[in-house]
Each structure stands twice: as C-alpha cells, then as structure tokens.
C-alpha cells in the first residue's frame, strides 16, 4: 500500500524546517522532552494526561481539516491514509506506554485513532459572539478571530483551570496550554491597509501592539494564579514567574510574526517554532529564552515594518 | 498636480515600469488601461507605497506622496479570517466625517454580522470599498473596482467614484472592462510595455478600443478562424 499523504506531510515538514532556519535545532530537544514527559505520565499512572489531549488533538484535526474531500475523492484507502497520518503524528508520544504498566493505553489509543477517520463532522465557520468588538477593540482583531475560532476549547480549559485552581501545577499546565493556543492567533498577516491604520512608526506600532495584547494574558491569568498561590504558597516563585514567561512568549509570537510580515501572508511555519519554545520554557534553564528572543525579534520586526510603515 | 518622474520598478531584474514621466491633474478621475502584464497593479502599488520603486519621484503638489495620502482598493481583497464585516469596518478610524455606513448599507446590503470569509467576491469588494471610503484621503486608488459586482452595484460604484470627484478627490481607476471607465473617467491613460504611451480625453474615448485592440483583433481573427 502507498502512503502519499504521509509523503506530502514529510515534504511539508522539510519545508517548515527550512523556513525556521537555525531554530530547527530547538525542535528536536522539545520533541524529546515532550516524549520524556509522556513516558513519565504513563510510568506515574497518569496516562489520561497524554492519551486524552492526543486523541482530542487528532479529533480536532479530523473535524477541521479542509482536505477531507480531496483525500476521500482521490486517494486509495482514504481511511488508512488518515489513520496512518494521525498515528505518525502521535506515536512518538503514546508509544512510551508500551514500556510501562499502562501498556493497555497503547492499543486503546490505536483503536481510538483508527475510529477517527470515520468521523465525518464538518467544522463550519459561524459568526459566534457577534458583539465581541464591544469587549475586545476591533484593532485587536487577532484576539477577536482567535477567541471566536477557539471559544469552546478556551472556555473548557479556563473553566478546568478555575475548577482545579487549588491543585498544584495542573492549573498552570492548563493555562500554559491556553497560551500555546493564543500563540496560534498570530499565524496570519493582516492586509497593508489594516497594518497602516494606526499611522504609527514601526517601533511605536510594535510597543502599542505588545502592550495592548499582553494585557489580556495578564487580566485573564492573574485571578487563577493568585488563588493557586494562596492555596499552594510553596509554589510562590513558580507562580510569580508564570505570567511573565507567558507574556514573554506572547511578545515573541507577535514579534516573530512582524519580523516576517508580508501583506496577507500565512506564517504557518511559525507555529512549529512557537510550540517548541513554549515546551522548552517548562524547563527552568530555558525560562529566559522567550525574553531573549523577544528582544532580538523586536529589532528584526522593527526593521521589517519600516519598509511598510515608513514613507 | 500629481507628478511622477523617472519611475522605474523591476522584479528580479525584470523591468515592469520603465522610466515613467507623467503628470496627473488633481481632482479628476483617471482611468488606467492596459493589457495583462502592462504594469497597472504595479503602478497602483507604487502609488500606495506597497512597493518601493527602484528610482523615481512621486509628488502631490510640491510634496512627496506619503502613505496617508492614498486609500487603496486592491484587485484581490484580503481579509483576516474569523472577523465579521462590522469588525473589519471598525478597525478603520473614521476620518471622513460625511461617511454614513447605514446609508451606504441600504444600497450594498452586506451581511455585516457574518464572517467575511463566507462573503462572495462581490461582497468582499463592497466591504473593502466601504473600508476605504471611511478614510478621508486626497487620492483614491481603485484597482479593478468593478470586478465581481452585479450590474446594480456597478452603477452604485460609478456614482461613488463621481461623488468622490465632486469632493475634490483624485481617483485612479483601472478595469479590464472598458465601458465603466468611459462612464466615469475624465481621462484614460494607456499603459503599454511599462510606460504610459498615450492618454485620451473624454471626447476621444472612442479611439481607445481601436488603439488597444486593433492589432489584436486582426491577428486573433486570422489565428482563431484557423484553429476552430
């Protein structure tokens, strides 16, 4: 049997790696780190932490993917093609179960992934929360669009984080997951008309953008972090660092977008790098990375935007 | 006067606009015509400062044209995914005090509370047009504004263009369909091989068809009749 879909994904992955250049070296350690975390969760009898998010991720892919009609019309054994794709994507993480007492979750995950291609639900883009611009200004369109697209998951994660906010680490993990989702709001470049709307020079434009967007993270996360700190005072230092690190990640995502900005361009390649950095910062030694990158990319973004914003 | 002198633009050493020297009277509607690849969109992009020219000066009066001098309706309208028409329009600060969305909406009938990505091509064009009309700029650049519009909206766009002119705006319009340009333009400029080869006043518009298509019609008739 041939697997053209896997071949296409491999070629796309190669292209993404070429796009991110030197930062490709960060992707492998991030992947290995996540594999190690997976192994730890299986070994510590917390397989749900891995199996549920992975299955959920693949289910979301299955529902949201735009190429379903193409795959079912043009590829042989379309269900197998999709199954192998989901397996290739998740196997490095759930295969660790085989070496632990939670080995049963390995075949269970395989069965779950096998069933997913038979899920024929379609995600239709509907305008939910039509009055969102009364809460979030229209100028922060990335947040309006991003929140609208992911409202179900954002609400679920936030409610879960709030419900477990007296637990150790778990709410931080959920909020961190929320941050990685927020980082994906910045994978699309706006038109030149929108970019130029503020009429500000590049440096001021970036500073206003960073301030305007970072305040949402602070407002959104602070109440939960405060409650979590009160319940777990021994985690004070970690909790104190948590929001600044998430803010630094967000700054980096914004600056990365504008360092590569071209009108109307999709910057999907950024998501690999952003996710890798987001994973890396869960290791204490790598905490300063987004801060350093944010500084470096501020100047890159400013230089790139000078072309579009200065006369 | 909008004066352009020595304007050269090239992509990968391939010259697109070749040393253009031309003056456009302010307060008029200027049609820009030319065959595919003549450089119309590049010319608009240079005026809108989306593309930096290799050389040349662009002046409005005695000052260099700035980003804030032009409002630009592009051929293909791109919208950020996941926002509604209302949100798109809210992004732009209203600097045109006379702009009344409710009045224009009576004619355009856009589903402003729906996501823009679900709009048809014509609807997207209308929304982008509303976006630029909110802004008070001295120069309006409209690259193919009639593309994808129904007959009624075509007429409305013609009325909008002439109304802008009445407000002393300078408008540059291009179109692949020449008839709407005849209806609205004061002058039509012919862009050929990267330079403005001729312009026509309103009384001479009849000549344009011959000028543009005479050779093509003759050659194509011969070739196509032999191919069918």
Is A197 at the interface with chain B, CB within 8 A?
yes
Segments making up each domain of chain B, as ranges: 2-227
Which residues of chain A from 13 to 72 reach within 8 Å of chain B, CB to CB? none
Of A139, A149, A196, the CB nearest to B67: A196
- Closest by Cα among B178, B107, B108, B96 to B133: B96
Element (H, E) at B72: strand B70-73
* Chain A residue at shortest CA distance from B77: A191
Residue B4, SS3 per DSSP:
strand
Cβ pair A197:B92 closer than 8 A: yes
List chain A pLDDT tens, one digit each, 311 residues. Answer: 788 888 988 898 888 777 777 777 777 788 888 888 888 888 888 888 888 888 988 988 888 888 888 888 888 889 999 999 999 989 888 888 888 888 888 999 999 999 999 988 776 667 788 888 889 999 999 999 999 988 988 999 999 999 988 888 889 989 998 999 999 999 999 999 999 998 899 999 999 999 999 999 999 999 999 999 999 899 898 899 999 999 999 999 999 999 999 998 888 778 888 888 888 887 778 888 999 999 999 999 999 999 999 87
- Specify burial of residue A80 (Cβ count, 10 A radius: 0-12, 13-18, 19+): middle
B2-227: CATH topology: Rossmann fold (3.40.50)
Asked whether the ipTM of the predicted complex exceeds the cut of 0.90, the reply is no
Of B64, B93, B117, the CB nearest to A125: B117
Pairs of residues, one from chain A and one from chain B, whose beta carbons lie less than 8 Å apart: 74
Q: What CA–CA distance (Å, rounded) separates B80 from A148? A: 13
Count of CB atoms within 10 A of residue B209's CB? 12
Q: Are A258 and A304 in contact (CB under 8 A)?
A: yes
Chain A residues whose CB is inside 8 A of the B131 CB are 193
Q: What CA–CA distance (Å, rounded) separates B97 from A103? A: 69
Element (H, E) at A279: helix A270-280
Per-residue model confidence (pLDDT) at position B47: 93
- Record the tokens describing residue A72, joined without a space: 């079912």
Q: What CA–CA distance (Å, rounded) separates B88 from B80? A: 8
Is B48 at the interface with chain A, CB within 8 A?
yes
* Chain A residue at shortest CA distance from B58: A311
List chain B pLDDT tens, one digit each, 228 residues. Answer: 899 999 899 998 888 888 889 999 999 999 999 888 888 999 999 999 988 899 999 999 889 999 999 999 998 888 998 999 999 999 999 999 999 999 999 888 899 999 999 898 889 999 999 999 999 999 999 999 998 888 888 888 999 999 999 999 999 999 888 888 888 999 999 888 888 888 888 888 888 877 777 767 777 888 888 888
Of A130, A138, A307, the CB nearest to B90: A138
Q: B63-116 pLDDT, tens per residue? A: 999 999 999 999 888 899 899 999 999 999 999 999 999 999 988 889 999 999
Name the minimum distance, in Å, from the CA of B100 to any CA of chain A.
19
Which residues of chain B from 110 to 169 reach within 8 Å of chain A, CB to CB? 113-115, 117-118, 131-132
**What's the pTM value of the predicted model, to 2 decimals?**
0.78
Q: What CA–CA distance (Å, rounded) separates A195 from A290? A: 24
Q: Are A174 and A157 in contact (CB under 8 A)?
A: yes
The residue to which tokens 């982008």 are assigned: B128
Is A199 at the interface with chain B, CB within 8 A?
yes
Is B49 at the interface with chain A, CB within 8 A?
yes
Q: Are A129 and B115 in contact (CB under 8 A)?
A: no
Of B66, B82, B90, the CB nearest to A145: B82
Cβ pair A126:B66 closer than 8 A: no
Chain A residues whose CB is inside 8 A of the B88 CB are 138, 141
Cβ pair A142:B80 closer than 8 A: yes
């Amino acid at each position: 049997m041939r697997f053209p879909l896997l071949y296409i994904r491999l070629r796309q992955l190669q292209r993404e790696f070429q796009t991110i250049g030197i930062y490709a070296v960060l992707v492998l350690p991030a992947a290995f780190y996540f594999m190690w975390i997976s192994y730890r969760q299986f070994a510590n009898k917390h397989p749900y932490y891995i199996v549920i998010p992975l299955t959920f991720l693949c289910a979301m892919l299955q529902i949201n993917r735009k190429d379903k009609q193409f795959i079912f019309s043009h590829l042989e054994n379309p269900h197998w093609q999709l199954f192998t794709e989901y397996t290739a994507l998740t196997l490095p993480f759930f295969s660790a179960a085989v070496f632990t007492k939670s080995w049963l979750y390995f075949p269970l995950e395989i069965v779950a992934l096998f069933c997913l291609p038979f899920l024929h639900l379609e995600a239709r883009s509907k305008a939910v929360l039509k009055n969102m611009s009364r809460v979030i200004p229209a100028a922060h369109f990335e947040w309006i669009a991003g929140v609208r697209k992911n409202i179900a998951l954002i609400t679920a994660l936030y409610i879960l984080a709030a419900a477990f906010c007296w637990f150790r680490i778990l709410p931080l993990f959920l909020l961190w997951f929320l941050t990685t989702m927020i980082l994906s709001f910045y994978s699309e470049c706006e038109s030149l008309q929108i970019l130029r709307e503020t009429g500000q020079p590049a440096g001021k434009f970036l500073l206003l953008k960073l301030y305007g967007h970072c305040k949402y993270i602070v407002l959104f996360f602070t109440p939960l972090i405060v409650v979590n700190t009160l319940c777990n005072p021994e985690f004070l230092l970690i909790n104190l660092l948590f929001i600044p690190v998430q803010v630094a990640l967000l700054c980096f995502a914004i600056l990365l977008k504008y360092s590569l900005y071209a009108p109307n361009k999709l910057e999907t390649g950024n998501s690999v790098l952003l996710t890798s950095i987001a994973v890396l910062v869960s290791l204490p030694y790598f905490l300063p990375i987004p801060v350093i990158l944010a500084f470096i990319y501020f100047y890159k973004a400013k230089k790139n935007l000078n072309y579009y914003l200065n006369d | 006067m909008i004066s352009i002198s020595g304007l050269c633009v090239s992509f990968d050493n391939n010259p697109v606009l070749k040393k253009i020297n031309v003056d456009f009277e302010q307060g008029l509607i200027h049609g820009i015509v030319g065959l595919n690849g003549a450089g119309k969109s590049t010319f608009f992009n240079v005026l809108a400062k989306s593309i930096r020219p290799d050389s040349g000066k662009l002046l409005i009066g005695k000052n260099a044209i700035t980003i804030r001098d032009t409002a630009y309706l592009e051929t293909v309208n791109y919208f950020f995914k996941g926002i509604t028409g209302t949100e798109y329009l809210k992004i732009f600060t209203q600097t045109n005090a006379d702009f009344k969305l409710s009045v224009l909406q009576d004619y355009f009938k856009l589903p402003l509370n729906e996501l823009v990505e679900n709009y048809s091509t014509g609807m997207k064009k209308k929304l982008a047009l509303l976006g630029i009309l909110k802004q008070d700029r001295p120069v309006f650049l409209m690259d193919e504004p009639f593309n994808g519009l129904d007959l009624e909206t075509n007429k409305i766009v013609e009325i909008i263009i002439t109304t802008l002119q009445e407000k002393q705006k300078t408008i540059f319009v291009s179109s692949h369909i020449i008839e709407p340009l005849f209806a609205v333009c004061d002058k039509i400029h012919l862009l050929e091989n990267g330079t403005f080869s001729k312009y026509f006043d309103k009384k001479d518009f009849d000549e344009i068809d011959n000028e543009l298509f005479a050779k093509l019609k003759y050659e194509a008739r011969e070739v196509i009749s032999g191919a069918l």
